[in-house]
Amino acid sequence: MDRLTNAVRPYPWGSVTALPELMGVAPDGSPQAELWMGAHPAAPSRLDRGGRSLGLDEVVEADPRGELGDTSVQRFGPRLPFLLKLLAADAPLSLQVHPDAAGAAAGYARENAQGIPLDAPHRTYRDAQHKPEMIVALTPFEGLCGFRPPHECAGLLDALRVDRLAPYAATLRSAPEEEALREVFSAFLALPRDLLAEIDGALASAARRPGALRATFALYDRIARAYPGDPGVPAALLVRQVRLAPGEGLFLGPGVPHAYVKGLGVEVMAASDNVLRCGLTSKHVDVPELLRVVRFDTLPAAVVRPVRAATGEEAYPAPVDDFRLSRLVLDGSGDARAVPGSRPQILVCTDGAVRLAGPGEEIDLPPGASVFVPAGEGVTVSGEGTVFRATTGV
């Protein structure tokens, strides 16, 4: 068991206060968007082994079977297949989708064959892995996820009172669902600047106008103010709003358009950098590849609620084996709970104060602190607070 030192990613959309408040430290005035826990080469966690500070990626590379276990290495290779984060959004993230496993492998091979450097700004596939992910809210959490039914999209366009959007509303009402969404979504990503500016102004007006859609338009107006003139703004109008209460989760599979808007949560994902952006960003948008990946269906986002096991652990079901996320809510009774040790895992405290005990050692975890537990090493958890546990699904 190793205490982790983790990097904070200062993306512009991050909250200045949320992560510092959780960790009980003073804000430094800069946005703190994500706290990464894992072995991702872009910002690996660090730990102390034998008096030396090492990256978790270095530790895994030196002894993958010892750190990850035979089962994980056989399934995923000599790498930790998941990345755990604390995510604090105070402004909208980019509207984006992720590829499936086959698409990621093909795209990575294709761009390698084209000689596109891995760090090139116009590179789309930076590895050969898919990127399913799950967010669990620690505070009330807002986001966008999955397409609205076309008739709802048409109603929003009508309510904006922008005459030049009328043909798109007509398409959404008359064409088959998938065809309508594909045609209008594609067109919105190529709208002229003057129409984008008109849409931004119409959203500001609609957000002030009394009526049933006022709160909906207030959200999209906030997005437009963060990204004025961005084609992702009208594209986002086609995507459903999602609100999570603390403790609720959202699983995001391949091809599903989504954007986190505001809130603090625990996020776990396959350890990949493959993101295809639709807008709300200054980064590269590869429209042809994006349209190959996006799923144009209207299945509602499935809110994931924890399932309690006989051991007291609460698991968040996900249809992938790259990761498994669960939590332990401890009541301070003094009874230690055993945590299985057959898989590699990272545990992070999000509330209260807990103590982890392993063979010959104990580690106290305040909020925001985390540990890595190698495969085969069991631990017990006690105290009063909440611990999230990320491991593999195999």
Catalytically active residues, by annotation: 277
Please spell the DSSP secondary structure of 53-116, one letter per residue: EEEHHHHHHH-HHHHH-HHHHHHH-SS--EEEEEEEESSPPPEEE---HHHHHHHHHHHHHTT-
Radius of gyration over alpha carbons of the chain, in Å?
Answer: 22
State whether the Cα torsion 103-110-186-226 is positive or negative. Answer: positive
Distance of CA 217 to the CA centre of its chain: 24
Contacts with 105 (C-beta within 8 Å, 6 or more apart), sequence order? 128
Q: Which amino acid is at 141?
A: F
CA distance 87 to 115: 34
Q: Which of 239, 241, 248, 266 is nearest to 303 (CA)?
A: 248
The answer to whether 293 and 303 are in contact (CB under 8 A) is: no
Q: Which of 135, 125, 129 is nearest to 88 (CA)?
A: 135
What tokens appear for 177 in the block?
């669902």
Cβ count near 62 (within 10 Å): 12
Class of residue 2 by CB neighbours under 10 A (exposed 0-12, middle 13-18, buried 19+): buried
State whether the Cα torsion 190-192-193-198 is positive or negative. Answer: negative
